[in-house]
Amino acid sequence: MRLMFLAIGRRWFDAVCATRGLEPEPTWQDLVRRHFKGALKRPFNTEARDQAGLPTDFYEPLAALMDER
């Protein structure tokens, strides 16, 4: 069920970005940096996220950045 919600959210987010002329990946990363408090905790369920259309390029750079803090 979570996979379905993630996939729906990803499609919605991509559609909003498209209507605003924004690239989804950097936009998502910027929103996470500005609004998410805390750390992105590994391990990630990369297989499920890939199936839902959320590749590691979206969240792994943020996790690595937060690891450096």
Q: Range of 37's domain?
A: 2-68
- Indicate the number of domains in the chain: 1
Q: Report the alpha-carbon distance of residue 4 to residue 30 in Å, rounded.
A: 24
Is the four-CA dihedral 58, 61, 63, 65 of positive or negative sign?
Answer: negative
Helix (H) or strand (E) holding 32: helix 24-35
For residues 57-67, give the mean pLDDT: 84
For residues 1-30, give the mean pLDDT: 93
pTM listed for this prediction: 0.79
